Structure formats: C-alpha cells, structure tokens
Amino acid sequence: MDLPAEGLLARALDSLTDIFTLVLDQEQRVVYANAAFLEHFGLRWPEVSGRLVGELVTPVTGLGPGQAALGPIEKGPLYPARTLLTRKIQGKKFVYEATLYPLLDDTPGPWTIGIIRDVTDRHDLESQVRQLDELERNLVQASMDGIIVNDMEGNILIFNEGAAKILGYRPEEVIGKLNAGRLYPRRLAHEIKEMVYGPAYGGVGLLENFETVARHKDGTRVPIWLSARLLYEDGREVGIVGYFKDLRERKKMEEDLLRNERLAALGRMVAHITHEIKNPLLVIGGFAQQLERLPEMPQGARRKLKLIHEEVQCLEKVLADLGSFTRITPTQKIPADLPALVREVAELMEAGFKETRVVFHFEDPPPMPPFPFDPGQIRQVLINLFKNALEAMPRGGQLTVGLKTRQDQIVLTVTDTGPGIPPEHMSSLFTPFFSTKEKGSGLGLTICRGLVEQHGGKIEIDSEVDQGTTLTIHLPRNSS
C-alpha cells in the first residue's frame, strides 16, 4: 500500500509548520517527510525517500542510553512517548521530543508515523529552572541560620540543616510529620502568627527581628531572633517561611559580661566590708577563746562562748568565700595528672570521711596522660564538691568519683548517695547566695562553676530525691 504524495494525509502533515513528521514502512524506511522536517534539517525529498530512518540526519544522539538517531537503527520496539534527542549544528544544540507509533492501530496497514518537535527553548528553560531550584536548595541547606517553611495548617515542608542544629531534630523527623506549633512553647506559635498578620513588626505579612524562644527536641528553650514572611501563590496565602538565629551564645556572653560587672562592683564592696569586719571578728573570736579557757568559767557560760567562737568562724568563712567569689584569678594551665590530684584531695579529706562514715571509692580511670589544667583551681573545685557530699551524708553513705576520656574531653563525675535535691531547687543551685544548707554561704557551687568555665569546661548536676546526686565536670584536653 502506497501513501499518495498529494493525498489528504500528506497535505495535512505539510500544514504542520512546527511539527516535523515522518512516515515509515514496515522496514522502517521513509515513505514520507513533511515540508517542515525537510526545511528544518536542510534536506531534499530525494535524499530522504526510501532511506532507513536510522541513517538520517546524523549526528543525532539520545538524552537516554541506547538512542543514536531519529529512529531505531535496527528493527525493534518503537520509541516510547517523549523520547528526547539532541543534535549539534554549527555550535548550536537542538533538543527534540520524538515519538513513533503505528499510524492505524485497527488495520493491517504497515505504516509508522514519527512525530518530532523542537523543544530546545523549553528544555533550556526547564534546565534553568532546575538549576535555580538546586541553587535555592543548596543556599537554604548551607545557611547557618534556621529556615523553616510550613503551609497554612502548620505542616512543615522545609527544615534545613541550620534548623536541625539549633533545634536538635533531623529533617526527616519533622518534614511532613510535625506541626510548626510544636517547635514553640505552648500558645507562642499562635501569638507569632498574629504578629505576622499585624503591622507592628515590619508590616502586615511580615515579622522582622523578633526576639523569642523556640523549643528544642529535648524540651529546653532556645532563645532565637526570628523573622517570618507570608508566602503567596496567585494572590493566595499558601504558607509561612521563618528565618531564625540561635542566640544562646550571645545570651551567654551577655550574662558573663553582666556577671563580671556585678562581680567587680561586689568585689569593691566585699573588700571594704572585709576590711571593716575582719579585725573586729578576730578580736571577738580571740576573746571568746580566752574566756572559754578560764577554769572558773561556769559551764553554761563556757557553752555560750564556744557558740560565739563557732559563729565567728562561720562569718570568717563567709568573708573568705566572698573573696574567692569576687576575685577572678587567671587560670594557669600546666600539664598535670588529674587522677593523682583526685587521690591527693581524697587523702586530705580522709579524716572527714571516717568521721561521717562515708566510704570513698575512686573508679579505676583509663590510662590518662597529663593534660593542661590549673591544679590549684581544680583542687579547690574537688574540695568544694567533696565537702558538699559529706554534708549531704551526715549519717554515712558512699562517695564515688569516676574519670573518663571522651574524644577531646575529660569527664569527671562525683556521685553521692545522699537525700538528693528537690526539683524546685535545681534551677537555683548555681545562683550566688542560694543554699539549701542552714549555714551555707551559697557560693561554693557558683565558685566551682566559675573555675571550671575558666578552663573552657562546664559543670552539670543530676539529682533525684532519695537516690543521690551526681555532678559532672567536662574539661577540654587541649590547652586552648
């Protein structure tokens, strides 16, 4: 069966100016090519007629594997829908979308029709869009700040690595699984959304540089600096994007600065008070001791003099603690043996252990070469912590010290079997002058924290009522 060159189908195909069309016989030879095909590829009909389609217009290569020409070189399956081909002519690259399929599905006709479209511009545009999309994704993921996008129902759509570092979640834990409201304390997310719609913080649909808090995965609050913006599509609100900075480091610096300013003022005041009170205390305590030794002193008066002497000693200790608290001594790090220092302090306090029936146990530490720290300051920390443990166990118990190496840190733990600390007191333990002891100055733990932080470390407390208390000290192994 022949295709009349001047027939209705031929005229219809020639009317297609932006679609290049071939008609193939059962041997996949060209029996017809429309005018648009011949013009675009610069061919004449005698050059095309009867040729195998795989021999035409070379070089044409496929964007997928196994494609090499405008049609299959060998007989076999036809191209699937939307097969992409490329061709380079005089430095210009063309991209085509080609499809081959039977011309008549329900007749025994042997012809196959090939439809080829020039999609170069569309392909270039799609490529640019893909590149921009990839660039945008990379910029979002590379940002040190947290970036979160959620729809109008609060479902999280984007959660970058910056947000993961700040809030502790992995992206796969929140995207499509968590509502954005869960990332803030109760009702705060609703208040922030109201601010976005209000004019007070940058205009309607915008929230700029608002200081607030987010909720970490572990439940703690993270201070952040938040900016947010409504997202629109075709004039319709489709979501909210939030950008936020982690303010924990800045807050810590502000607290340290404020604390140092307060310490400086307190130091001047303490120096004056110590000077004015210390000498009278020495006189009172000295006279009380002398009178206490008089043989004719009545027993009742002797007990009162002893109390006077003890109270004078308490006041002297408070003055000494105040001096230590307000006097910031620079840390002098030298390579030293921490296990040996622990044993030295334990030996120093051995009498106290025996008096209170406290059993001291030092867990065998792993091999630990000397590392840089200030032995004098860490000795003061250990003495304070051991004394606190003894005072927590007046009727006996166990005091256990552990030492471990963890990557670039030394981890020291001090655990007692005392009554523990009530939960309501935990947040105030490092507050100056806060004490759960009747005659405590409330400065011991504060001094310990200051000395540990001067080493670039940190100190933590974990306690449970009726179970005991563990203090954990992290010290860096390097000298920075």
Q: What is the Cα 440 distance to its own chain's centre?
A: 39
At 107 the pLDDT is 46
Question: What's residue 403's pLDDT?
Answer: 92
pLDDT of residue 59: 56
Q: Degrees (nearest 5) of the Cα angle 306, 310, 315?
A: 145
Sign for the pseudo-dihedral over CA of 72, 75, 76, 79: positive
Spatial contact of 449 and 459, defined as CB atoms under 8 Å apart: yes
For 334-476, CATH gives 3.30.565.10
Total length of the chain: 480
Task: Report d(CA 389, CA 288) in Å as an integer.
Answer: 31
Name which of 183, 185, 244 is nearest 211 in CA terms.
Answer: 244
d(CA 371, CA 203): 56
Domain positions in the chain? 8-119, 143-246, 251-326, 334-476
End-to-end CA distance of the chain: 90
Residue 334 token pair:
């030298």
Phi/psi for 88 (5° steps) reads: -110, 125
What secondary structure does DSSP assign to 410-450, as a single string?
EEEEEEE-S----HHHHTTTTSTT--SSTT--S-HHHHHHH
Q: Dig out the tokens for 207 from the structure.
A: 């929230």
Query: Closest by alpha carbon to 270, among 314, 317, 325, 313?
Result: 325
CATH number for the domain whose boundaries are 143-246: 3.30.450.20
H helix or E strand, kind and range, residue 192: helix 188-197
Q: CA 171 to CA 174: how far, in whole Å? A: 6
- Residue whose C-alpha is closest to residue 214's, from 237, 182, 190: 182
Instruction: Say whether 143-246 and 8-119 share the same fold.
Output: yes
**CB 30, CB 6: distance < 8 Å:** no
DSSP E strand stretches across 35-78:
60-62
Fold of 8-119: Beta-Lactamase (3.30.450)
Residue 472 has a pLDDT of 93
Q: What is the largest CA-CA distance in the chain?
A: 145
Six token digits for residue 170: 């992995």
Give the predicted TM-score (pTM) of the model.
0.41
Q: Which one, of 268, 315, 326, 310, lies nearest residue 443 by Cα?
A: 326
Kindly write down the DSSP assignment for every residue of 273-287, as one continuous string: HHHHHHHHHHHHHHH
Long-range pairs, 89-94, Cβ under 8 A, ≥24: 93/120, 94/118, 94/120
* Residue 167 and residue 216 in contact, taking contact as beta carbons nearer than 8 Å: yes
Q: How confident is the prediction along the chain (480 residues), in pLDDT tens digits per residue?
A: 445 455 666 667 777 777 888 888 878 788 888 888 888 888 888 888 888 877 776 556 655 544 445 554 333 444 445 677 787 877 788 888 877 777 655 544 567 777 888 888 777 766 665 665 565 566 666 677 888 888 888 898 888 888 999 999 998 998 888 899 899 988 888 888 888 888 887 788 888 888 899 999 988 889 999 989 888 888 888 888 888 999 888 887 777 767 666 666 666 666 666 666 776 777 787 777 788 788 888 888 878 888 887 777 777 777 776 666 555 567 788 999 999 999 999 988 888 888 889 999 998 888 888 889 988 889 889 988 998 888 888 889 999 999 998 878 899 999 999 988 888 877 777 666 656 655 555 567 877 888 898 888 999 998 888 889 999 999 998 765
